[in-house]
Amino acid sequence: MEHKDREGVVYLVGAGPGNPDLITVRARHLLDHCDAVVYDSLIPDELLVALPPTVDKRFVGKRSGRHSMPQHEINDLLVRLASQGKRVVRLKGGDPFVFGRGAEEAGHLREHGIPYEIVPGITSGVAAPAFSGIPCTDRFAASYVVFLTGHQAVDKAVSGVPWEWVAGAKNGTLVIYMGVAEIGTIVEKLLAAGMPADVPAAAIEKGTVSTQRTVTTTLSKLPDKIAEVAIQPPAIFVIGEVVEHHETLRWFQDKALFGVRIMVTRPGDQSLTLYRNLRELGAEVLAYPTIATAEDFRADDWDALRRITVDERWVVFTSENGVRYFLKQWHATIGDIRDLKDWRIAAVGDGTARALNAAHLNPDFVPAEGSTAALARQMVENLQLDKATVVRVRGNLGGDHVERTLKKTGATVIPLPVYRTFTVRWSAAAKEKLFANLPDVIVFTSGAAADGLADNLDQGELEELVTGAVVASIGTSTSNVIRTHGISVDLESKEHTMASIVNELVGCHRTRPLKRKE
């Protein structure tokens, strides 16, 4: 969509070191109000999956040593998008001006007369050590810190870092970015230039996320140590006395789900609280929604609803989505929420009831078991409905079991579609990233999410993804759909709520680690 009526602008935004909670308030605001986002490989999926479908998302990162787009093409893409009048977020890992080519992109934008803004981000050279209990500076051990790149620039035959000079520095900290492939050579240069062999050193892989690994040793033993434990990019190296703080100040790995990689298939815009709760417990979240929802507004149905005047009237909600879209349409067509006082309300379970509570509505009926079948059955068993009019709020999926069951009582039952659910199609880059970091746990919160996963993968891919992973389901009806795709369910929540499934995961992890079986 072009915006010819306004001037385009590019925001060069630092997304932080990998943990989505570490993005700045300014960066979050710009993401929420952008027209396009151009992003790199190490950007947390959570920052992207909840963006509206109208946002133009362009992946330009690096995968398996390959650049999906050369730098000059990225530069031109930014100019082109902004020239269409779009607000463009160029989302870069860490800080755009710390080994991030932000200056190159800003220079290109200036040459072409494109307005831009630089939004700093938390750089991994500070954040990853902090998550390992390693301070970059310490008034007793390090009065300065030096950030270095261990990666040789493409257009240079040798590194531009003066390693001989660096080796002579004392009472400070060296933080080396992008040096996994070069660390042997770097250590040789430092030792040859006189840096003591027994200086403490650390390697930190995937800093600030749950699968972060930290190993400590001495400078001379660092190359052998990282080879022994197979440290992989992204990783940074810390050299200096501050490394000794790791054993006493470490904190991140003590969380209940630390080291567990959990894939969430629920719609992204509905999962932010779940993502956050899992992260706060130490899990790494793989945000891979397989389905999404969109509003389905039908004016004639709402005109019919307004004409209902019987004394006994019910509105039945079987999902949180139903609550959300119904209330939006109620406000748009009828207006005052207080007009719902003449209606009695039924909710399928605790999650749907909480969605109603958030709008200051209390359901009159919630079944003991959280399923649509139980809702219909228990309404028939416990309520007098023969003179009632029942509005069944629904989406496009699922059968008409609720409607058919309630009609048997003599009630007038009116289906009211307010939203539709559809499959989210994953890009090739998203699938490649997923299969490079397979989940330990796959969480399904609806049967539709299981169907969406099967729609995105062929049979071989599906088997590779689920084999060795713990498959967690929110309830019986969801489990039944999961099994239709040949997937075994390992854990089923006792209650049909997000909180319950998280608690089940924590309890399971305490008794048997939720780690992928190779």
Residues noted as catalytic: 40, 62
Structure tokens at 299: 């004016």
DSSP state of 283: P
Alpha helices in 91-245 (DSSP H): 102-111, 124-131, 163-167, 183-192, 222-229
Q: Half-sphere exposure of 367 toward its Cβ, with a 13 Å CA cutoff?
A: 20
Residue 20 per-residue DSSP state: G
Alpha-carbon torsion 504, 505, 510, 512, what sign? positive
Nearest in space to 468 (alpha carbons), one of 435, 444, 430: 435
391 contacts 258 by C-beta, under 8 angstroms = no
Strands 419-423 and 291-295: antiparallel
Nearest to 23 by CA among 208, 193, 180, 150: 208
Sheet of strand 284-287: strand arrangement = 284-287, 261-264, 441-444, 470-473, 491-492
Distance (Å, whole) CA 326 – CA 415: 12
Interacting residues of 442 by C-beta distance below 8 A, sequence separation 6+: 262, 263, 265, 465, 466, 469, 470, 471, 472
CB 215, CB 192: distance < 8 Å? no
